[in-house]
Amino acid sequence: MKYDVIIIGSGLGGLECGYILSKKGYKVCILEQNAQIGGCMQTFKRGKSVFNTGFHYIGGLDEGQSLNKLFRYFDLLDLPWHKLDEDAFAEVIIDGKPFFLASGHERFVDTLAKDFPHQRKQLETYTHFLKQVGDNIFESFTSDFGNSALFDSSAYLFLQETVDDPLLRNILSGSSLTMELCSKKLPLYIFAQINNSFIQSTWRLNGNGSMIVDKLAGDIRAMGGDIITKAKVTRLIETDGRIGSVEYNDDAQVSGTYVISDIHPSQTLALIPESRHIRKMYRNRISSISNTFGIFTVHLQIKESAMPYLNRNIFIYRNEDIIWDYKFNGEISSVLVNYNIPRDGSCTSNIDILTPMCWDEVARWADTVIGKRGADYEMFKQQKAESCIEFVSERIPDLKNCIEKIYTSTPLTYRDYTGTPNGSAYGIQKDYNDTLGTIIVPQTQIPNLFLSGQNLNLHGVLGVSMTSFFTCAKIVGMDNLLKDFNI
């Protein structure tokens, strides 16, 4: 069948590109290798509980804020969003001492200044800068986004130069398990944009991430698009210098005028083993880029009415030394604790505990598949889960007694369900020292082949949503999109 646009992968980026282009009148086909769509937005059900895989909370959803305008375009604002505690959307615990991060830039400063009165002016400088980044976020729609000077600046050095107190610097970084804090690489723009969105306002879904997936997918189908699952793309077929058709499952094909790949750029190029357009230097560059670390998640099903719901996120660190440049030594030393909103009443039904995990910890099982990794792997996960629970129990003493069942996922799980190399949590690792080498543009060296998703310039829900517009603008023109977007 002939389509205007074929999209490889049904992660958030693929679905949002499908929505944008369907809304512009293009006939879209999305190919997904798994039975379930959604990529990192997938969910799974165990008993009465539904668990998220990669989606837990978002920032900047209030009127006039970063994500609000994007989600209004995607018609996602009517989902059951629930705002976290404005006085403490996050609790950062370092060496046993809690500190609270509040929503709203002024409230954020006032709250931390109670513990750091000598740093009030510096806190004001910090939040003022973050607010400027957030207020100007949509200027990138009309400029050369990847060339922003803040991509060439160091997040770590910015903190060093702005805030004197080393403990306060770590508290300001303490809610950043939503990115890889590498002092030698992390661009300032990524740090500022993500942290500003959560200071604006922080939200969970009264439900799960599949609500976003189902809404986008339903609208795409309603606008005439097709979504084909269990369709693993095996080859991109180049004809006269363009991708003329896409092969999936080795023997089926669809043809299209344009192709967008929402999977990792290196995997995209592997689908085109030979091309006179793709230069060897480009292939080598894409294949040599480092990826961010993965995540180990403990999914806890909680006994009925056993654990009161907490309307904030908890970030726990053993000490200050592991917040930046996380050290993988096999021990649990930092976690994010996320509560699921109660279905009814005041108690949660499940809690997720997330901690960084490097690929080396699971590499010995790299050649196995889900459900067939062996007893050693199951024992490894059980011991890791027990360590996480023990670590969190220092903050939540009753946790062990409230647990009904335990489920786990590793970077191997992410790799097999989302196709992400080494189960990377945040895609390609960006480097402010090498912006041109690590910020990937949507246009490839084949004229009708484009890239999208978290591996390009920004990750997370906000970043991927922005990137989807940059990708689609290569097909329909940014001026054309901005008319609908009202910027």
Write down the pLDDT at residue 198.
94
**What percentage of residues in the chain have a pLDDT greater than 90?**
66
The verdict on residue 469 lying in a domain is yes
Q: Which residues pair with 302 in a beta bridge?
A: 403
Report H helices in 60-104: 66-73
pLDDT band, residue 365 (cuts 50/70/90): very high
Q: How many domains does the chain have?
A: 1
- 3-class SS of residue 58: strand
The verdict on pTM exceeding 0.95 is no
CA distance 158 to 150: 10
Question: DSSP code of 174?
Answer: T
Which residue in 203, 210, 204 sits closest to 340, CA to CA?
A: 204
Q: 407-431: per-residue pLDDT in tens?
A: 999 999 988 887 788 889 888 899 9
The two tokens of residue 128 are 């003022």
The verdict on residue 246 lying in a domain is yes
Average the pLDDT over 120-144 and give the result.
85
Q: 66-115: per-residue pLDDT in tens?
A: 899 999 999 999 999 999 999 999 999 999 999 999 999 999 999 999 99
**What percentage of residues in the chain have a pLDDT greater than 70?**
98
DSSP characters over 439-465 = S--SB-SSTTEEE-STTSS--HHHHHH
Q: Which residue has the higher pLDDT, 329 or 193?
A: 193
Write down the pLDDT at residue 142.
58
The verdict on residue 56 lying in a domain is no
The verdict on residue 284 lying in a domain is yes
pLDDT band, residue 301 (cuts 50/70/90): very high
Mean pLDDT, rounded, of the chain: 90
Q: 133-142: per-residue pLDDT in tens?
A: 988 887 766 5
Q: 368-384: per-residue pLDDT in tens?
A: 988 889 999 999 999 99
Write down the pLDDT at residue 135.
86
The verdict on residue 60 lying in a domain is no
pLDDT band, residue 482 (cuts 50/70/90): confident
pLDDT over 60 (residue 33): yes
The verdict on residue 239 lying in a domain is yes
Phi, psi of 98 (to 5 degrees): -90, 145
Average the pLDDT over 350-362 and give the result.
93
pLDDT over 90 (residue 475): yes
Q: 234-278: per-residue pLDDT in tens?
A: 999 999 889 999 999 999 999 999 999 999 998 999 999 888 888
CATH code at position 6: 3.50.50.60
pLDDT over 90 (residue 458): no
Other Cβ atoms within 10 Å of 442 Cβ, number: 24
Q: 391-413: per-residue pLDDT in tens?
A: 999 899 999 999 999 999 999 99
Write down the pLDDT at residue 485.
67
Write down the pLDDT at residue 399.
95
CB-CB contact of 196 with 131 (8 Å): yes
Q: Which domain holds residue 257?
A: 2-42+208-290+431-485
The verdict on residue 442 lying in a domain is yes
pLDDT band, residue 471 (cuts 50/70/90): very high
The verdict on residue 438 lying in a domain is yes
CB-CB contact of 39 with 10 (8 Å): yes
